């Protein structure tokens, strides 16, 4: 709340509106007036005031309806009701419905000012109490261990996540599959003021378009075969919290248009509906694709990309943070022990060496699965190398560029090898290498950073 509390005054008598406006302005408030209940509802949505003062009896929309709308918008919003036909029963009903005070007309100016000041103080105290409560909870959550890792690139990504967490800015988390994008999204949520609210997530690549839109935006009864009742979408269900959209690069152009509307208008239209539904949610999106390249190819909407890319956090692959492998392995050993209600096992030196030497194409997720498998297969207290998957213990590290083509190489491996080969041929000159590759230098720098090559 500002130093001058904003007061919305609603009445169907112009003379009362004007006199109350002048009175409140003189007393240091910031008053706005609305003639009638319908105008009051519009002003309520537009202004989002600190206090509402409203007549009860008005044509169309009365004061009790306005009170209900105000309470729906903000349960802590003080609403003072005025009426010339006050009865004990109507006063009790108003207070039970959530009114801050019930004032009988005619009233003295000092009486109204005292009530509005008391409402402002109550509003301020509630806001301060909420702030302190959130601060206490944030400090308590500060005791929660952050995502494990001490590698420079990982710590830089976490620092950026912690910096942006207290804001409501949209965040785009990029990185290969299994690098911990959802873990970082949850960490952002936990460190934010929304940490006590819902954290909802969905994998955009796991559902067909029609089902994905129903899950995201909701649907109305009868909007498609099988829609036997209205359903609230995840955007609305995560109200007040954080919504994590994983693999957003897999969405279709039609879904991208609707997501753009969500970011621009902060509202959704359920499938089969015509009226929009306002939402209050913090969006964190993630992808393992190069969305900038997808935009150039026309596979992803540029306007949506720029809306998503307010804060970009890139997570390094596990092969670029090998020093973290022992730390992560120890963490997963303790997690596995906790699940099995037993003492944590230790890794034999040969097993740890094998983990550090392996390339981990599946990143942290693959490491977690390998550790879980090894714990299950180890009857003793020390996990031997033989308990690890064969691909981890027997795979030989291939040089980046070889005379022979590896069996079924990934597109990223081919691109990485070619880019590095061109850079070597150009004597390390990045500008000439970018020209040979047909890309701008900034794109080359991003690729080299992703490959762990100093740009």
Q: Residue 371 in contact with residue 353, Cβ under 8 Å?
A: no
pLDDT at 366: 94
Percent of the chain with pLDDT over 70: 89
Query: Which sign, positive or negative, has the C-alpha torsion 170, 176, 181, 182?
Result: positive
pLDDT at 400 > cutoff 60 = no
Is pLDDT above 70 for 455?
no
The pLDDT-based confidence of 397 (bands split at 50, 70, 90) is very low
Helices (H), 276-410: 291-297, 302-308, 325-340, 349-357, 363-377, 390-394
For the segment 129-147, what is each residue's pLDDT rounded down to a tens digit?
766 665 555 555 544 567 8
pLDDT tier, 80 (very low <50, low <70, confident <90, very high otherwise): very high
pLDDT of residue 143: 47
**441-451 vs 411-425: helix crossing angle, rounded to 10:** 120
- How high does pLDDT run on average in the chain? 86
Distance CA 246, CA 207 (A): 12
pTM of this prediction exceeds 0.75: no
Each residue of 265-282: pLDDT tens digit? 889 999 888 888 888 999
Put residue 7 in one of left, alpha, beta given phi > 0 → left and psi -120 to 50 → alpha. beta
Residue 111's pLDDT band, with cuts at 50, 70 and 90, is: very high
Return the pLDDT at 423.
81
For the record, the structure tokens of 67 come out as 């009170």
The candidate with the shortest Cα–Cα distance to 395, out of 357, 422, 450, 340, is 357
Predicted confidence band at 224 (pLDDT cuts at 50, 70, 90)?
confident
- Higher-pLDDT residue of 15 and 2 is 15
Task: Grade residue 208 by pLDDT with cuts at 50, 70 and 90.
Answer: confident
Asked if 79 contacts 70 with a C-beta cutoff of 8 angstroms, the reply is: yes
Out of 110-114, 144-148, 275-279, 351-355, pick the least confident: 144-148
Region of 28 please: left (phi>0), alpha (psi -120 to 50) or beta: left
Higher model confidence: residue 95 or residue 386?
386
Token pair recorded at residue 138: 């944030």
Of the listed ranges 247-256, 311-320, 387-396, the one predicted with least confidence: 387-396
Residue 140's pLDDT is 54
The predicted structure's pLDDT at residue 360: 93
190: Cα separation from own chain's centroid: 10
Q: Mean per-residue pLDDT for 363-391?
A: 93
- Of 196-200, 354-358, 433-437, the one with minimum mean pLDDT is 433-437
Inter-residue long-range contacts of 329-332, CB under 8 Å, 24+ positions, other chains counted: 329/355, 329/367, 329/371, 331/148, 332/367, 332/368, 332/371, 332/372
Predicted pLDDT of residue 1: 46
Predicted pLDDT at 210: 81
* Assigned token pair, 70: 């105000």
């Amino acid at each position: 709340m500002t130093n001058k509390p904003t007061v919305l005054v609603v009445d169907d008598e112009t003379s009362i509106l004007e006199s109350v406006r002048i009175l409140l302005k003189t007393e240091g408030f910031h008053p706005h007036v609305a003639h009638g209940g319908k105008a009051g509802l519009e002003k309520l949505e537009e202004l989002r005031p600190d206090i509402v003062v409203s007549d009860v009896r008005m044509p169309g929309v009365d004061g009790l309806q306005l009170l209900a709308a105000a309470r729906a918008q903000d349960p802590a919003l003080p609403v003072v009701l005025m009426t010339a036909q006050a009865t004990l029963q109507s006063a009790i009903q108003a207070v039970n419905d959530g009114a801050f005070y019930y004032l009988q007309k005619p009233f003295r100016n000092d009486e109204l000012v005292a009530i509005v000041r008391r409402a402002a103080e109550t509003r301020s105290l509630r806001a301060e109490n909420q702030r302190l409560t959130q601060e206490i909870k944030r400090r308590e959550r500060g005791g929660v261990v952050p995502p494990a890792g001490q590698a420079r690139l990982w710590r830089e990504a976490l620092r950026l996540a912690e910096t942006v967490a207290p804001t409501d800015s949209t965040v785009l988390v990029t990185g290969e599959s299994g690098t911990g994008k959802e873990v970082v999204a949850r960490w952002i949520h936990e460190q934010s003021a929304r940490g006590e609210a819902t954290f909802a997530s969905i994998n955009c690549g796991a559902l067909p378009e029609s089902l994905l839109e129903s899950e995201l935006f909701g649907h109305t009864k009868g909007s498609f075969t099988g829609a036997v009742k209205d359903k609230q979408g995840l955007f609305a269900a995560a109200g007040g919290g954080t919504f994590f959209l994983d693999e957003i690069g897999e969405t279709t152009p039609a879904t991208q248009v609707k997501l753009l509307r969500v970011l621009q208008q902060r509202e959704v239209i359920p499938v089969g509906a015509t009226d929009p539904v306002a939402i209050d949610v913090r969006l964190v999106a993630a992808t393992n694709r190069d969305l900038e390249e997808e935009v150039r190819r026309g596979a992803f909407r540029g306007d949506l990309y720029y809306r998503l890319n307010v804060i970009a956090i890139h997570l390094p692959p596990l092969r670029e943070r090998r020093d973290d492998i022992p730390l992560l392995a120890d963490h997963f050993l303790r997690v596995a022990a906790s699940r099995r209600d037993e003492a944590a096992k230790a890794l034999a030196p040969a097993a740890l060496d094998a983990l550090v030497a392996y390339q981990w194409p599946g990143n942290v997720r693959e490491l977690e699965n390998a550790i879980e498998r090894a714990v299950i297969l180890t009857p003793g207290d020390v996990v031997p190398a033989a308990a690890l998957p064969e691909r981890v213990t027997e795979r030989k590290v291939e040089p980046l560029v070889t005379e022979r083509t590896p069996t079924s190489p990934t597109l990223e491996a081919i691109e990485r090898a070619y880019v590095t080969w061109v850079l070597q041929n150009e004597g390390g000159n990045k500008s000439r290498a970018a020209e040979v590759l047909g890309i701008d230098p900034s794109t080359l720098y991003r690729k080299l950073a992703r490959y762990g090559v100093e740009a």
